[in-house]
Amino acid sequence: MRGATAVALGTTVALLAAACAGQGTANQPDSSEDADASTITWWHNSNTGDGKKYYEEVAADFEAEHEGVTVEISAMDHEDMLTKLDAAFQAGDSPDVFMERGGGELADHVEAGLLKDISEPAADTISTLDAYMPGFQVDGASYALPFSIGVVGFWYNKALFSEAGIEKTPTTMEDLYAAFDKLDKAGIVPVSVGAGDKWPAAHYWYYNVIRECSAETLDAAIADVDYSDPCFVKAGEDLEELIATEPFNKGFLTTPSQSGATSASGLLATGKVAMELAGHWEPGVMQGLTEDGSGLGDDTGWFPYPSIPGQQGTEFAQMGGGDAWAVSQGAPDVAVEFAQYLLSDEVQKGFAELDMGLPTNPTASSAVSDPALAELLEVRDGAPEIQLYLDTLLGTSVGGAMNDEIALLFAGEATPQDVVDAVQSAADAEQ
Amino acid sequence: MADDVTAPAAASSATSTVARSAGRAKARPADRRPGGGRDERGAARGRAGVWRKRAEIALFVTPALALLVAFVVVPVATAAQMSLYRWKGFGPMVDFVGLRNYVSVLTNEVFTDALVHNLIIVVGSILLQLPLGLAIALLLNRRMWGQGLLRTIIFVPYVLAEVIAGVVWFQLLQPQYGVIDTMLEAVGLQGPDQGFLGTPEYALWTVLVVLTWKYLGLAVILFLAGLQGVPEELYEAAQLDGASWWQVQRRITVPLLGPTMRTWGFLSMIGSLQLFDMVWILTGGGPANATTTMATFLVNEGTKRQNFGIAGAASVVLFVVALILAVAYQQFVLRRDNDDAPRRRARRAPKEVER
């Protein structure tokens, strides 16, 4: 009896310990056939200020044009939205129009039957977005309309660069290392990286892969689940070389990417480091991290990731990603029309004018007002190809394993071959 | 370093319910014994009484049971079910893989390292906090000026929310710009180049120090409460016999504090096994997986990589590890207290509830 009590107590405690672990249900997605064909539920993450108001106007305009149609908007914080989307997918009750990031995640959603194939009904819009579509297609069918696509590059502090005597932004790795040297000599920490969050560190490896491997090699590797091409190891070796020059902020292994003044973005925003590899979101993040809300202000500069001598990858190819409007399987047909409307010239122009993102509709590009973003947009529009972030492209499972291993490489605890092996074995496990 | 007091508290109240209902069940035949010669009507009334009692028990137990089932049993069962499938968090769960997830978890170096980290923290926090907590409790038990204030100060870290304490320590421990590095520099010392949290060799120990700071207050408060239960007469008698202060502590206070220390050890162990929030904020399991725990591993696999099967298997392993350690602790350490004379048990029981 006493032993039983002991076991009971032990079990209860262990149960409680494990209960936090197991959550989530396995409901079948009943592809929520919307009974009411004239109501569109729309989830987005522009939940503050002008952006929110703008999207309300957009919805109202659409309603005015389509009699009897109501658009129900849920504007929420980005992280909240992701959590709620996951829950909605699990419950089989997804909104009609929502944001997708493309790549492996989108492919998983397609496989689970969550997304509507919009190749036919949205053909016209898709034809204008050709350059960005590959990340949002599965087996030739299109499942989402990219509305904001950015590319990753170095954001830098113009004042610190001129203080260190750097006149031209680096275009090759040699130039970049020379810039590191000059900054070091001037007593300025060259680069911050949020390796604590892993993906900011992983972006270096992705870019090296895009430089070292040709697009065909990468596509074939993903399709055949075979990462044995030597260019992948080469990418890691290039990264080791870069890490060996010790350009990063102190404690970068646990530095977060965007939260607080001591994060990678915070260090750049407060003039503690000269540059950081980041995407188009960086000016916005830096503005949020400085007291006067201006970030680096006029000192904000941007240059693309340098090229590597002897690279196999296409010159000026860029890596990036962004958001697309997807329509769920059970949504009414008018939802597809609404998604297309969101990509129309007028809606995208307004979107660009408010600096809500980097419009994909070519007619809206000129409407972007921020000079640094305009520079980035020029590079994006001039890029022969835009490769999706590799972790997004490969899906969360492989992407996570890859990012963890790259973080270990930054810590000097993994070799370039280890990274490739981690990707290979995670990809094999998916088969 | 109990991570979450509510869990053990719930557990102890659960056992006390069990104990109480068991007591009641035993009490029934005892009442009935004098009524052995009742006539049939009396027996019928007795049967009705039994049913009434059962209905009563059902009425009172059902809400608690329903909550337990909904929030503990079902999630645990789901986790166990998930662990047998490969599932990404949406769509039907159909890809049955048997025990493959378990093989993958148990052969994963990151997970086995995480288990080792958990065990280091279990042992480390007891080794650090027990002597420290005892020493401080003995000091604070003496009549002195500012006693109440000191007790409060010692207890403050425990009251602080985990996340807030974590963020504060994270900022203090920043390399180069952090307060601790600045202070070290002021006295001519230099912290590790990548910071205490950024250097794989130091990170786990740094986390352990922060955990000690955070949970020492709980040990001290429990020990102080235990000290109140040591009868004054024993001290007086010892003093009459000419025992020194040290002898009194060694021969009287510490042995009588035994049950409290063992209970605290249990709470501390469970908290260390569940350890998540402080690590998540301070290091996120990094650098180079130097501070991963089983909980961070399963969150990483589950919500970040959406390998819900792997996360499910990891949570089942965590459950089994926690169960084995909890039962072993009950059997080998707490047994001494459980086998104590009933009078002493009765005296301790209300204290447990207080907590």
CA-to-CA dists, residue B3 to B14, B125, B218, B266, angstroms: 19, 12, 11, 12
- Lookup result for tokens 């009904």: A121
Q: Is the pLDDT of residue A35 over 70?
A: no
Tens of pLDDT, residue by residue, chain B (355 residues): 334 434 444 444 444 444 444 444 444 444 444 444 455 566 666 778 889 999 999 999 999 999 999 999 999 999 999 999 988 887 778 889 989 999 999 999 999 999 999 999 999 999 999 999 999 998 888 888 888 898 889 899 999 999 999 999 999 998 888 899 999 988 988 888 888 998 899 999 999 999 999 999 999 999 999 998 888 899 899 989 988 888 888 889 889 999 999 999 999 999 999 999 999 999 988 788 999 999 999 999 988 888 899 999 999 999 999 999 999 998 888 887 766 544 444 444 444 444 3
Report if residue A115 sits inside a domain.
Answer: yes
**Is B12 in CB contact (< 8 Å) with chain A?**
yes
Q: What is the pLDDT of residues A149-168, one digit of tens each?
A: 999 999 999 999 999 999 99
Confidence of residue A21 (pLDDT cuts 50, 70, 90): very low
Q: Is residue A253 part of a domain?
A: yes
Q: Is A409 on the interface with B (CB under 8 A)?
A: no
**Per-window interface: A 96-115 vs B, CB < 8 A:** 108-109, 111-114
Touching A: B residues 164-223, CB under 8 Å: 171, 174-177, 193-195, 197-198, 200, 203
Which amino acid is it at A102? Answer: G
- Characterise A361 by phi-psi region: left (phi > 0), alpha (psi -120 to 50), beta (else): beta
Q: How far is CA B164 from the centre of its chain?
A: 20
The whole-angstrom separation of Cα B197 and Cα A212 is: 34
pLDDT band at A342 (very low <50, low <70, confident <90, very high): very high
DSSP string, B290-311: TT--HHHHHHIIIIIT--HHHH
Q: How confident is the model at residue A10 (pLDDT cuts 50, 70, 90)?
A: low
Regarding whether A370 and A277 lie in a shared domain, the answer is no
**pLDDT digit string, tens, across residues A136-146:** 999 889 999 99
Taking the Cβ of residue B96 and every Cβ of chain A, the question of whether any pair is shorter than 8 Å is answered with no
What was the pLDDT predicted at B339? 62
Whether A22 has its CB under 8 Å from any CB of chain B: the answer is yes
- Answer yes or no: do A202 and A269 share one domain: yes
Average pLDDT of A388-412? 92
Task: Tell me whether residue A199 is in a domain.
Answer: yes
- On the CB side of A350, CA atoms within 13 Å amount to 15
pLDDT at B204: 95
Whole-number pLDDT of residue B49: 85
* DSSP symbols for A221-252: HHHHT---SHHHHHHHHHHHHHHHT--BPTTG
Q: Give yes or no for A29 touching B (CB within 8 A).
A: yes
Residue A146: CATH number of its domain: 3.40.190.10
Is there a domain that residue A30 lies in?
Answer: no
pLDDT of residue B30: 43
| pLDDT bucket at A353, cuts 50 / 70 / 90 | confident
CB-CB neighbors (< 8 A) of B308 in chain A: 24
- Residue extents of the structural domains in chain B: 100-354
B179: closest CA of chain A, how far (Å): 13
Q: Are residues A114 and A190 in the same domain?
A: no
Q: Do A108 and B270 touch (CB under 8 A)?
A: no
Q: Are residues A93 and A109 in the same domain?
A: yes
Confidence class of residue A34 from pLDDT cuts 50, 70 and 90? very low
Whether pLDDT at A72 is above 90: yes
Nearest CA in chain B to A30: B91
- What is the average pLDDT across A29-54? 73
In 3-state terms, what secondary structure has residue A343? coil
A283 and A408 housed in the same domain: yes
- Cβ of B200 within 8 Å of Cβ of A28? The answer is no
The topology under which CATH files domain B100-354 is MetI-like fold (1.10.3720)
Look at residue A19 and tell me whether its pLDDT is greater than 80: no
How far apart are the C-alpha atoms of B237 and B233, rounded to whole Å?
A: 6
A425 close contact with B: CB closer than 8 A: no
Whether A12 has a pLDDT exceeding 60, the answer reads no
Residue B324 distance to chain A (closest CA, Å): 8
Report yes or no: B300 at the A interface, CB cutoff 8 Å.
yes
Give the start-end residues of each E strand in A78-183. Answer: 97-100, 137-138, 141-142, 144-151, 153-157
- Can you give the pLDDT at residue B278? 94
User: Which of A62, A26, A15 minimizes the C-alpha distance to A344?
Assistant: A62
A24 inside 8 A of chain B by CB: yes
Helical residues (DSSP H) of B93-196, grouped into ranges: 100-106, 109-140, 147-159, 162-172, 179-186
Is residue A6 very low, low, confident or very high in pLDDT (cuts 50, 70, 90)?
Answer: low
A238 with A343, same domain?
Answer: no
| Beta strand A273-278 pairing with A189-192 | parallel
The domain boundary, picked from A374, A401, A418, lies at: A374
Crossing angle of the two packed helices B6-32 and B254-274, in degrees rounded to 10? 120
Q: Which of A14, A23, A408 sits opposite B322 (nearest CB)?
A: A14
Nearest by CB to B174, from A20, A89, A251: name it: A251
The helix-helix angle for B200-228 and B109-140 (nearest 10°) equals 40
Q: How far is A195 from chain B (nearest CA, A)?
A: 9
Cβ pair B331:A396 closer than 8 A: no
Cα B204 from Cα B130, distance rounded (Å): 19
Whether residues B312 and A22 touch (CB distance < 8 A) is answered with: yes
Beta-carbon separation of B78 and A23 below 8 A: yes
Q: Residue A250: its chain B contacts at CB < 8 A?
A: 175-176, 193-195, 198
Nearest to A16 among B10, B195, B286 (CB): B10
Per-residue pLDDT, A7: 53
Lookup: tokens for B176: 């180069």
Which chain B residues are closer than 8 Å to A24 by Cβ?
Answer: 78, 82, 89, 308
| Whether A133 and A175 share a structural domain | no
Looking at the structure, do residues A273 and A158 belong to the same domain, yes or no? Answer: yes
Decide if A327 is inside a domain: yes
Q: Using a CB-CB distance cutoff of 8 angstroms, which residues of chain A are in contact with residue B286?
A: 195-196, 253-254, 407, 411
Residue A132 pLDDT: 87
Least Cα separation, residue B295 to chain A (angstroms): 8
DSSP labels for B61-118?
Answer: HHHHHHHHIIIIIHHHHHHHHHTTEE--SSS---EE-TTHHHHHHHT-HHHHHHHHHH
Q: How many domains does chain A have?
A: 2
- Residue A117: its pLDDT value, please? 94
Residue A22's pLDDT band (cuts 50, 70, 90):
very low
Which of B76, B194, B197 is closest, CB to CB, to A19? B76
Which element (helix H / strand E) includes B349? helix B342-354
Q: Kindly report, residue by residue over A73-114, the tens digit of the pLDDT.
A: 999 888 888 889 988 988 888 999 999 999 988 998 998 889
Whole-angstrom distance, CA of residue B312 vs CA of residue B306: 11
Residue A4: inside a domain: no
The confidence score (pLDDT) of residue B44 equals 66
Same domain, A43 and A144: yes
**Is A106 among the domain residues?**
yes
Residues from chain B that touch A22, judged by Cβ atoms under 8 A, are 75-80, 82, 312, 315
Chain B touched by A12 (CB under 8 Å)? yes
Claim to verify: residue A57 and residue A80 sit in the same structural domain: yes
CB-nearest partner of A90 from B90, B110, B331 = B90
pLDDT averaged over every residue in chain A: 87
Q: Contacts of residue B90 in chain A, CB cutoff 8 Å?
A: 29, 86, 89-90, 108-109, 112, 114
- Residue recorded with tokens 């916005």: A284
* Same-domain check for residues A334 and A424: no
Contact A11 B323 (CB under 8 A): yes
**B-chain residue closest to A22, CA distance:** B79
- The span from the CA of A180 to the CA of A184, in Å, is 6
Nearest to A2 among B175, B302, B338 (CB): B338
Under DSSP, is residue A358 helix (H, G, I), strand (E, B) or coil? coil
Q: Is B109 on the interface with A (CB under 8 A)?
A: no
A205/A67 same-domain check? no
Q: Which residue range is the domain that position A77 belongs to?
A: 39-150+322-374
Determine the residue among B90, B109, B210, B310 to mutate to test chain A binding: the one whose Cβ has the most chain A Cβ atoms within 10 Å.
Answer: B90
Rounded percentage of chain A residues whose pLDDT exceeds 90: 59
pLDDT tens track for B323-337 = 999 999 988 888 877
